[in-house]
Every structure is written in structure tokens, then in C-alpha cells.
């Protein structure tokens, strides 16, 4: 048994049992992939894959159990390398953070600026992605830290920590009739075409739920991935916008108005998530603490410890 065989087993599952794609991903030949699989099966004395001719269709029962160990072994091997780097190059390395547009654009700039002052030799890779993509990146080991509002709290392999809370607000072009409606109501909002976020991001489900509970069905004429796009089309007069209040900047959004919406929309909590078992360098813990001072390295390590399965309660 060797690490190349283990990598091939993991990649075969990731590539939906397409050996051509496995070979391409691992920069080897399809015949080499097939040979490694056969050699491992011969060594273990069991078949790991369900076959139809030369095609792989899925995992056998032993194969499903083996994949769990393979993932753990490859993660531990990566952790050993990170552990060595931690002690040989404490102030150098790479930190990968996956987050949504709203967090990257409006929440993280000051954190990142301070982090780069503290660790100028650390290469920070910032990926903007949807919450489901962030989960996949965490599980695949493509990112060290994930930050989003949706999806992160429902995955057993991840530990999630509260970062900050926020709420939705309504934006309109300057001079819009809704500026005169006091207090603003959901019924008044629903009288106008609405531009807001795509399903599954930035609390969109909460928006739909809020209107639904009042028996209202707003006319959502356009949806977008980020607040900057929403604001652009609201400014053009195509509708009123519902965005995260943190995404409104009065110094830049001078042609728009943010309307007070007390108690109209529930608050949302953005989470920081880590994969359980993934080794973090010291500067990664510092990044988390810059985001939320209560999340010290000791607090995060304690929450990730195997004996504690419950999420950290800030």
C-alpha cells in the first residue's frame, strides 16, 4: 500500500468513477490508475469498486469503509507537512480563506489589512464562492477557513463559530416614494418590484420566509450574487433592493437611500468554519482572532478537540 494508491482511491470517488478524469487530475495514465487500483485490491484481498466490464460504477461495502480511512490518512499526511512548516517557517507560508462576496467586500477588508501588517510574508489567498462551494472547498482541503452565513452549520465534518450578526435592509433610489412611508411595512415593500440575492446566499431564505409568514409574495424581478450588482440596478430604477445592511456605504452610494427596517427582517449570523482534523498554522488562528476576538487559539483548539463535538458557543 502506498500514498499514490490512496490518492487514486480518493480521486476516483471525487471524479465519479471516471478513470480518464482521475488520470488527468493526478497527471498519470489511465492504465496506471487501473493498475494501482488492482494492485491494492489484490493486496487487501477484497474488491473496492462495483464494476461493469472495465467501467467502475461505484463502491463496494469494503470500498465505502476504506474511503473513510483514506481521507483521514491523506489529511494526516498533509497535517504532518503543515506541522513541520509551522516550526521551520513560523512567519511564512500560505493561508487560504473562502468566503462570499458580501463578507470579502464589506466585512473582511480591515481584518485582512491588519493580518497582512502582522504577517507580511504569508501569502493570503481569498476565494469568493457560494456557501455550498465553500463547504466543498473545506471538505476537500482546498481552503483553511470558510466564512459564510448559510450551509456551514449543517455539516458534521465542520466546526462552526459565530462571527458577526447582521440584518437585511431596503434600498431605493433617492427621492423614491417609500422614503415617505413611516413606519416602513412589508406590505408597502411588496407593492414594488424587488431586486435581491440569489437563492441560497446572503440570507435569501430568510427574506422569502419573512414575506411568506405574512402571506405576501413580493415581485422579485431580478436576483444577483452580490450587493454591488443589486445596487447598480436599483440605481437604474429597475426596482427596490433588499440587501445586507452592511453592504450599504453612504459615502459611495450617494444616489441611493437606506431605509430603516426595524424588526422587519430577522437577524442573520455569519459563521467561521473549519474542517475537523485539519491542521492550522499559528497565523491561521491569528486571522480567526482578528475576525472575532473571543475566538482565541485556545478556544478554537478546545472546540475542535475530539472529545467535544458541540459547536463553540461564543
In this prediction, residue 111 carries a pLDDT of: 97
List, in sequence order, the alpha helices (H) in 2-144: 3-14, 19-25, 30-44, 61-88, 101-102, 109-118, 131-139
Average pLDDT over residues 100-105: 94
Q: Which domains does the chain have, with CATH numbers?
A: 3-83 (1.10.10.10), 90-165+269-304 (3.40.190.10), 168-266 (3.40.190.10)
- Most confident stretch, 70-74, 266-270, 274-278: 266-270
Q: What is the mean pLDDT of the chain?
A: 88
Residue 177, C-alpha cell as written in the block: 416614494
- How do residues 230-264 score in pLDDT, each as one tens digit? 999 999 999 999 999 999 999 999 999 999 877 89
Mean pLDDT across 147-163? 93
Q: Name residue, grid cell 480518493.
A: 10
Q: What is the mean pLDDT of residues 270-280?
A: 90
Q: Which pTM was predicted?
A: 0.71
Amino acid at each position: 500500500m502506498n500514498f499514490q494508491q490512496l490518492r487514486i482511491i480518493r480521486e476516483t470517488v471525487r471524479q465519479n468513477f471516471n478513470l480518464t478524469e482521475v488520470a488527468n487530475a493526478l497527471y498519470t495514465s489511465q492504465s496506471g490508475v487501473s493498475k494501482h487500483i488492482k494492485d491494492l485490491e489484490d493486496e487487501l484481498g477484497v474488491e473496492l469498486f462495483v464494476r461493469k466490464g472495465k467501467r467502475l460504477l461505484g463502491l463496494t461495502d469494503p470500498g465505502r469503509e476504506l474511503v473513510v480511512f483514506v481521507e483521514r490518512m491523506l489529511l494526516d499526511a498533509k497535517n504532518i507537512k503543515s506541522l513541520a512548516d509551522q516550526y521551520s517557517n513560523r512567519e511564512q507560508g500560505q493561508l487560504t480563506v473562502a468566503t462570499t462576496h458580501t463578507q470579502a467586500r464589506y466585512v473582511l477588508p480591515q481584518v485582512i489589512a491588519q493580518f497582512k501588517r502582522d504577517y507580511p510574508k504569508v501569502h493570503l489567498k481569498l476565494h469568493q464562492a457560494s456557501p455550498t462551494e465553500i463547504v466543498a472547498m473545506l471538505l476537500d482541503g482546498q481552503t483553511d477557513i470558510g466564512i459564510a452565513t448559510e450551509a456551514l452549520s449543517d455539516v458534521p465534518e465542520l466546526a462552526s463559530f459565530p462571527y458577526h450578526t447582521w440584518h437585511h435592509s431596503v434600498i431605493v433610489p433617492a427621492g423614491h416614494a417609500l422614503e415617505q412611508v413611516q413606519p416602513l411595512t412589508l406590505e408597502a415593500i411588496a407593492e414594488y418590484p424587488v431586486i435581491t440575492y440569489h437563492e441560497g446566499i446572503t440570507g435569501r431564505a430568510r427574506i422569502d420566509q419573512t414575506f411568506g409568514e405574512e402571506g405576501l409574495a413580493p415581485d422579485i424581478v431580478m436576483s444577483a450574487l452580490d450587493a454591488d450588482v443589486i445596487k447598480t440596478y436599483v440605481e437604474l430604477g429597475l426596482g427596490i433592493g433588499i440587501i445586507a445592511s452592511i453592504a450599504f456605504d453612504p459615502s459611495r452610494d450617494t444616489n441611493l437611500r437606506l431605509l430603516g427596517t426595524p424588526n422587519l427582517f430577522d437577524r442573520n449570523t455569519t459563521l467561521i468554519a473549519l474542517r475537523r482534523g485539519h491542521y492550522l498554522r499559528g497565523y491561521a488562528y491569528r486571522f480567526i482572532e482578528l475576525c472575532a476576538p473571543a475566538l482565541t487559539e485556545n478556544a478554537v483548539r478546545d472546540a475542535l478537540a475530539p472529545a467535544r463535538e458541540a459547536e463553540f458557543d461564543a
